[in-house]
Structure 1
Amino acid sequence: MATVSTDPTNSRATLSGVPVKPVYCEDDLADWDPETQLGRPGQFPYTRGIHESMYRGRLWTMRQFAGFGRPCDTNRRFHFLLEQGQTGLSTAFDLPTLMGIDSDDPRSLGEVGRLGVAVDTVDDLFALFDGIDLTQVSVSMTINAPAIVVMAFYLSAARQRECDWRKLRGTIQNDILKEFHAQNEYVFPPEPSVGLVVDLIEFCSQHVPQWNTVSISGYHIREAGSTAAQELAFTLADGEHYVQQCLKLGLDIDSFAPRLSFFFNAHNDLFEEVAKYRAARRLWANRMRDRYGAKTEASCKLRFHAQTAGCSLQAVQPEINLVRVGYQALAAALGGCQSLHTNSMDETFALPSEHAATLALRTQQVLASETGVTNTADPLGGSYFVESLTQQMVSAAEDYFDKIEEQGGMIPAVNNGFFRREIAESAFAYQQAIDSGANVVVGVNAFQSSTEPEIALMQFDESTESAQIANLQRVKAARSDQDVARSLTRLKRAAKARQNVMPALLQCADDRVTVQECMDAMAEVYGRFRSDANW
């Protein structure tokens, strides 16, 4: 059985394998310039946080990920979480929706509403946010390949509810590149997929100014097995590619960059995670100002959402997951996150129960209210160890930036499988360390228990699928086939002309065109991506 060594002469490393010395001192920061590399909170390069007062001025948004069943089912969970003190909504979609497939498609059989909420038409958005003032609550939606379609549905629903788009606040993930690196929920090839990301950035920068148009995500890269440095480097490289494509379109950097946001993992190694967040802010600030000519502070400030590490949750002794999540949340707070999701202890078995989701939310509330971490900005700033780790993280990321350039840039690196190879090698090394006992996982390879507690799990209603399909069929029967055909023709015409497709998608939403019908229409123009033909 693996145990924790107490021998001070033994070699140690971070979770990602970076060697850690027994003690750090001023010699470890011999080439470190605190004025240019550290600064003060709220000042360039924002290593210490993007706001001067940080959480003394405003707490992070507590945003629990939720979504299951039909839109009305998730709507009830949204209301429950808001009643428990959650301050923002975060929407999970089911697998068919994530892949741009309708609930009544044969490929959706057995998956409708299981891992998130099913959305087929704009009417589902009405039901999803029924009774919720969209101008008062920040809404996050985690979806990528069909992101522009779902965003059009959301804006159509808001307009029909007479909500002023300029008052809408929230985030849509809309980060297709990380799907090619890690998560595999892509539909179109990389280049037109990125083009749709840029379309949404352009449209929202003009019409929905408070909306975060992309949540550039390292979370799923880390969940696939990357190191912390790979998560950092690949995420920022993705962000830079979106910036470059927007600039090629002729957009002014300061017109869209302030609404780019990031999404990072909060894993087990507390100090490595804090260093990752600090390095991300410094790297992004310097590159935005010096490489892309950003002139406003808002364009240089990296704002990020964090979610505790789903891949760290264990099925054995699941209550220990509460402890893991608590420390991971602490890392996110010490690292200066702007919003946070804490995973529930039962997620290795099922979608979170109300009890488990409440405990996950209470974890954030205890952290914010009882631990003192919000009392001062960047309490770890100036630590020899943390600053040294931050420096190492910056250097490792810059090395990866060079490697990506050596591949010919982002799209060639995607097409030749560079990112996947790097992540796969790291995932293999990490699993080897667990199997050998070099990395201790409590309850798995150390400190096992002969008894397992019974925990109440959420039960999935098997009638969900048939109910969602019946609702979709009612919508299809009531709509105008002529209007649908006209809207889809307009959408294909815009796609072929490489025009911004958002206006056409808004008309599709109004005419009750489905998610899949929109995606299929664009696939006729863009084609579909097949990984086995490319890697």
Structure 2
Amino acid sequence: MDVEDRLREWEDNVYKKWIAKRKERKAVFTTPSGIQIKPLYTPLDLKGDYNENIGFPGEYPYTRGIYPNMYRGRIWTIRQYAGFGSSEDTNLRFRKLLEAGQTGLSMAFDLPTQLGLDPDNDLAYTEVGVVGVSMFHWKEMDNVMSSIPIDKVSTSMTINATAMELLSMYVTTAENRGIDTRLVDGTVQNDILKEYIARKNFIYPPEPSMRYAVDLIEYSYKNFPKWHPISISGYHIREAGADAVLEVAFTLSDGIEYVRKTIERGIPVDDFASTLSFFFAGYTNIFEEVAKFRAARRIWAKIMKEWFNAKKPDSMTLKFHTQTGGAELTAQQPEINIIRTTLQALAAVLGGTQSLHVNAYDEALALPGEKAAKIAIRVQQIIAYESGSTETVDPLAGSYYIEWLTDEIEDKAWKIIHKIEDMGGMMSAIEKGYPQAEIAESAYRLQKKIEDGDMIKIGVNFAFEQDWLGTTEVFRVNPEVRERVLQRLKKYRSERDEMKTRDSLNSLRKVAESRKENMFPHILNAVKSGATVGEISNTLREVWGEYREPIIF
């Protein structure tokens, strides 16, 4: 009897009779993305040829991972996102995290830094050092990296609208220590498209912002070969309310736009594609998340090979960082967030991530405290060295459910990607409000499921909502930080060569107006000449203006 006949017999004579007497918990089971789940999967659910669709790790289409031996060779980079207050505060936290076993840095900046405002700007005053470190001058970067070997540690910086300024500060710090900047290793986010779609920390209109992002890609791949000049981010898209399918589709569509714009500069795809990196969220439904990561790798490999004619294997590999889902954390019963983040981190590892941040259990309440941050590192270390998930490559491959779900997510994501292409690409789709509207609709559906009890959130709804007897210590940034930062800004300005600073900003203004040169060398020169983040951003504001998002319903 073949599998199809045997399945039909099982359904009629075993399964249906069983549930007739013992009803199931739901009439319909779905993933968080609304993909309907059958009670059982068999070889009948597998699609395509194994060699073409699944293949082997380290080989096209990279479904099973981008390296042949994955974590049997090297564990992913343990990279906890951190930063608050002044440069001294953040440096101390970095050094403590490195002592606890973190293997890479991930730097958070405050909102004024992200939005190109100096700490003494009236709009910045209440936000100085609150959600990240205040970073207005390159000597602040030097302070943050004090006693940390820049040539031996990988640093990721979550910065977009002022990405060139912050990378210039990092490069200037390295040069002042006598370090060859070709050795600096890390990532700068530099993904402005997802700001328009989801996160909203933009400064300039889309067209000059895209020029800014591509200038950074172009300059970086030529001058900083170990640096990833962009981290194309689905994380913020997911956190804004997108489901897993939208996260994959919108992120890869953003990637297509960056590749296309860089190629339009006359740069061959194989010259820069290997430096591109991605950033995804890791949520609690392990199977959907693992399938999502596998599908994203496969789609990207096909896009690079078939759409952009990439020839080098490295040009087709999707390298990605994962952060566990901040929006999944609950302020209610916060300690149980450790369980959520453990499942999310395990999903990222089983899905083949190259770098990982685990949110601290207290982040629904405030910035992570020192104890909570160390526990988050321990989560990664236990998965790495005790769970057994690193002993073999892609351990969930071959599961009928995982392979079917990978195919489902891929098929659904492709439809959205093609729809965006029909609109003229992601830039045009953003102008039409398409991704913004889809995310809003997805967020509404998700919240309605939670409020209706269709999706159980422990500690929030259903029968598990109750008073929590535990207490969680909440971390607060010292309010004295602001005055310390303001005094140092005043001191920097008083000590610099004002003529040299003004000349560097005038040079930058001319380049921004002309559109004929790459802006990075001019921003780098302005940083070295003592210009602050706010002064550089204001120079570009004068040329490009500020973007005001249209109201889209």
Output the CA distance in 2 between the equivalents of 1:258 and 1:265: 21
Which of residues 174, 178, 187 is equivalent to 1:162?
A: 178
Output the CA distance in 2 between the equivalents of 1:520 and 1:467: 23
State the AA in 1 paired with 2:277: S
Residue aligning to 1:391? 407
Deviations for 1:391-446, whole angstroms, at most 9, x for unmatched residues?
A: 11111111111211232222221112111000000000000000000000001003
Residue aligning to 2:43? 26
Which of residues 30, 33, 49 is equivalent to 1:13?
A: 30
Output the CA distance in 1 between the equivalents of 2:471 and 2:26: 41
Output the CA distance in 2 between the equivalents of 1:27 and 1:133: 54
State the AA in 2 paired with 1:443: G
Residue aligning to 1:511? 529
Output the CA distance in 1 between the equivalents of 2:102 and 2:316: 29
State the AA in 2 paired with 1:205: Y
Matches within 5 A, 1:89-128: 89-128=105-144
Output the CA distance in 2 between the equivalents of 1:534 and 1:255: 38
State the AA in 2 paired with 1:396: K
Matches within 5 A, 1:289-368: 289-368=305-384
Residue aligning to 2:85? 69
Output the CA distance in 2 between the equivalents of 1:387 and 1:432: 29
State the AA in 1 paired with 2:405: L
Output the CA distance in 2 between the equivalents of 1:100 and 1:416: 27
2:300 corresponds to 1:284: yes
RMSD, aligned CA? 1.2
State the AA in 1 paired with 2:32: L
2:483 corresponds to 1:466: yes
2:212 corresponds to 1:196: yes
Output the CA distance in 1 between the equivalents of 2:26 and 2:531: 66
Output the CA distance in 2 between the equivalents of 1:532 and 1:234: 20
Alpha-carbon shift at residue 8 of structure 1 (Å): 6.3
- Relative to structure 1, the CA distance from residue 355 to residue 513 in structure 2 (aligned partners, 3 Å threshold; closer, same or farther) is same
Alpha-carbon shift at residue 165 of structure 1 (Å): 1.0
Q: Work out which of the two has the higher radius of gyration on C-alpha atoms and give 1 or 2.
A: 2
Alpha-carbon shift at residue 451 of structure 1 (Å): 3.0
Matches within 5 A, 1:238-249: 238-249=254-265
Residue aligning to 1:495? 512
Is this contact kept in 2: 1:415–1:534, CA < 8 A? no
Alpha-carbon shift at residue 10 of structure 1 (Å): 2.8
State the AA in 1 paired with 2:443: A
SS of 1:216 mapped into structure 2: strand
Deviations for 1:454-506, whole angstroms, at most 9, x for unmatched residues?
A: 12222321101111011001001111111111000110111112111111111
State the AA in 2 paired with 1:41: P
SS of 2:143 mapped into structure 1: helix
Residue aligning to 2:543? 525
Deviations for 1:37-94, whole angstroms, at most 9, x for unmatched residues?
A: 1001111100000011110011000000000000111000000000001000000000
Is this contact kept in 2: 1:15–1:268, CA < 8 A? no
Is this contact kept in 2: 1:316–1:452, CA < 8 A? no
Structure 1, unpaired ranges of 5+: none
Output the CA distance in 1 between the equivalents of 2:23 and 2:528: 65
SS of 1:262 mapped into structure 2: strand
Output the CA distance in 2 between the equivalents of 1:412 and 1:10: 40
TM-score (normalizing by structure 2)? 0.94
TM-score (normalizing by structure 1)? 0.97
Output the CA distance in 1 between the equivalents of 2:468 and 2:414: 47
Which of residues 372, 388, 398 is equivalent to 1:382?
A: 398
Is this contact kept in 1: 2:437–2:552, CA < 8 A? no
Alpha-carbon shift at residue 6 of structure 1 (Å): 7.3
- Relative to structure 1, the CA distance from residue 72 to residue 349 in structure 2 (aligned partners, 3 Å threshold; closer, same or farther) is same
Percent sequence identity is 44
Is this contact kept in 1: 2:161–2:202, CA < 8 A? yes
Output the CA distance in 2 between the equivalents of 1:436 and 1:163: 57
Is this contact kept in 2: 1:134–1:168, CA < 8 A? yes
Q: Give the total of aligned pairs.
A: 530
State the AA in 2 paired with 1:528: E
2:97 corresponds to 1:87: no
Is this contact kept in 1: 2:332–2:468, CA < 8 A? no
SS of 2:39 mapped into structure 1: coil
2:441 corresponds to 1:420: no
Output the CA distance in 2 between the equivalents of 1:413 and 1:519: 27
State the AA in 2 paired with 1:135: D
State the AA in 1 paired with 2:529: D
Is this contact kept in 2: 1:257–1:299, CA < 8 A? yes
Residue aligning to 1:407? 423
Residue aligning to 1:134? 150
Which of residues 502, 506, 520 is equivalent to 1:485?
A: 502
Output the CA distance in 2 between the equivalents of 1:517 and 1:453: 47
SS of 1:495 mapped into structure 2: helix
State the AA in 2 paired with 1:403: K
Output the CA distance in 2 between the equivalents of 1:409 and 1:51: 31
Which of residues 76, 80, 99 is equivalent to 1:60?
A: 76
